Amino acid sequence: METKLKLPRSCRIILKNMRPHELLAAQEIFTRMRAANPKYPGLSTTYRSMEILVKEGFVQSVDLGDGEKLYELVDPGEHHHHLVCNHCGTQIHMDECAIEDLREYLIETYGFHVTVHRLEMFGACEVCLKKKF
Ligand SMILES: [Zn+2]
Ligand SMILES: [Zn+2]
Ligand SMILES: [Zn+2]
């Protein structure tokens, strides 16, 4: 909470207007901020604010494979991964990071310490599997 107060105003406005489990591009966030507050600064401020929010752990950036960076609200310092259906586009938010065991395996096997990782998985969701696509 204390760190939240130190965030620039533009960041705090964004946090207030994002909802959990929404994956939004910077452009969409900017459009929403402008709608809520006509005096909200420009798109470049939005990009900068998102970088700050990611760095401070309030937001995670997600790449679902189409090259566009998406942003999502998370509990401070937390992150999670997504299962994306190639057929209907459904995005399943996993409850938590699924690869803690892999980190230990990599340290033990390769002496490699992971500081940043990305993991989104693509496939078929339950509904599409039942429909056989
Ligand atoms: Zn599906
Ligand atoms: Zn998510
Ligand atoms: Zn993770």
Domains of the chain, by residue range, sit at: 1-74, 80-133
According to CATH, what is the number of the domain 1-74?
A: 1.10.10.10
pLDDT tier for residue 34 given thresholds of 50, 70 and 90? very high
pLDDT tier for residue 67 given thresholds of 50, 70 and 90? confident
User: Which ligand has its closest atom nearest to the C-alpha of 128?
Assistant: 1
pLDDT of residue 80: 94
Interval between CA 63 and ligand 3 midpoint (Å):
13
Interval between CA 35 and ligand 2 midpoint (Å):
24
The reported pTM is 0.85
Cβ proximity of 43 and 85 under 8 Å: no
Q: Taking 70 as the threshold, does the pLDDT of residue 4 lie above it? A: no
pLDDT of residue 2: 53
pLDDT tier for residue 65 given thresholds of 50, 70 and 90? confident
Interval between CA 57 and ligand 3 midpoint (Å):
13
User: Which ligand has its closest atom nearest to the C-alpha of 119?
Assistant: 3
Interval between CA 94 and ligand 2 midpoint (Å):
7
Which fold, 80-133? Dna Ligase; domain 1 (3.30.1490)
Cβ proximity of 24 and 71 under 8 Å: yes
Averaged over 49-75, what is the pLDDT? Answer: 93
Round to whole Å and give the CA distance between 63 and 74: 15
Higher pLDDT, 4 or 49: 49
Distance of CA 101 to the CA centre of its chain: 22
Interval between CA 103 and ligand 2 midpoint (Å):
21
